[in-house]
Structure 1
C-alpha cells in the first residue's frame, strides 16, 4: 500500500509542466497549494478558492462559465493530501495576466 502511495506522490520538477490527475498525492495541504499556484501561473488563468482549509481545498477557474475545478482533501487520518475530484477541461479563453505570480 505504501509503495503504491509513493508512486503517485507528486514531486516538484521546475523543468516540467504540472499536470494534475485524480488520485495524485501531496505530502500536505501546503504542498498542494504551492503546486496549485504554480499550475495556475503556468496555464494562465485566474483561480478562485471556494474552500481553503486545513482539511479540504476546492478551487475553480475564475472566469465565468468555465468548468475547470479541483478538490483535494486528506487521506484517512494522515496529512497526505489527495486529489479527489478534478475536471481538467477549460471552456474559457486563457489570459497570461495573473495575480498569483509573485517574485517567489
Structure 2
C-alpha cells in the first residue's frame, strides 16, 4: 500500500518522478508554449467520461485500474434495479425507508468540498455537489471510484479496487433538488494508487482557481509540480495546461473571484 507520507513524488520543476511515457525528462527551460501542441478540441473530461486511457505503463507496476464511466446524465430511473445486494445491505449502514423525510440531518458545507467527510443522512444541495464530493474523496484517498448509476433520482458509486467494499448511494429528496446519502460503506480494503482516474481538468481548475488568480503568469510546468506534490497523484501535462486555461477563462468572465 502506498503510504500518504510518501516524499519526493516531484523533486523539482526539472525532475518529475514518473514513468508514464509522457516526456518526464523535461528540461528546466520548458515554458507554457511547449503545451501549445495540445489538441484543445479534446477535453480530458470527455476522455474520462468515455474512459479512453492512453497510459498503459503504470507507475511501480500498479494493477490496472478498472474503467470508469460517469453514466447517463439524463437517464431515467424507471425500471431500474438497485445494484446493492440484499445480503450486503445487512452489514452496511442504510437509512430505512422514509427515515430521511421530515428528519433532521446534517447539511454538507461546500467549504469542505476538497476535504469531505461522509456520513449517513448528510444532505447535499444538488446532485452535482454530491458527485463532486465523491470525486474529491477519490482523489483524497487515492482510489479510483466508479459511478455505476447516474440517474435523476439515484446515484451509486463504488470503489474499483479489487474486492473493495466501499460504496455510497445518494438519493434525491422528494420535492427538492437536494440529494441525501442513504447508504454508505466507508471502509476501503484496497491499496492506494498514484494514478487516480477521478482527477479531471474541471476539478483541478475549480480547486486551484485562487492560485491562478494570485499568480496568473505561473507556468504550466511549475503548476503541475505544485499540484502533484500536494495531491500525491499523477497529473498529466495536458491536464495541467487545460486546468490553467479553464481557470483563467473563469477569472476573466466572473466577478465572483
**TM interval, short-chain normalised:** 0.7 to 0.9
Q: Which runs of 5+ in 2 are unaligned?
A: 1-100, 206-257
RMSD over aligned CA atoms reads: 2.2
What is the CA–CA distance in structure 2 between the aligned matches of 1:15 and 1:77, rounded to whole Å?
A: 25
Q: Provide closer, same or farther for how the CA distance between residues 11 and 86 of structure 1 changes in structure 2, counting only shifts above 3 A.
A: same
Hey, which bits of structure 1, 4+ residues long, moved more than 3 A?
Answer: none
* 2:167 counterpart residue number: 69
Q: Which runs of 5+ in 1 are unaligned?
A: none
Under a length normalisation based on structure 2, what TM-score does the superposition of the two structures give? Answer: 0.37
The reply to whether residue 54 of structure 1 matches residue 165 of structure 2 is no
Q: How many residues align?
A: 102
Q: Provide closer, same or farther for how the CA distance between residues 15 and 66 of structure 1 changes in structure 2, counting only shifts above 3 A.
A: closer
- Distance apart, 1:33 and its partner CA: 0.7
- Distance apart, 1:83 and its partner CA: 0.1
Question: Quick check: which one's helix share is greater?
Answer: 2
Contact 2:114 2:133 in 1 (8 A): no
Question: Quick check: which one's strand share is greater?
Answer: 1
Match runs of 1:19-98 below 5 Å? 19-98=117-196
Give the number of the structure whose alpha-carbon radius of gyration is greater. 2
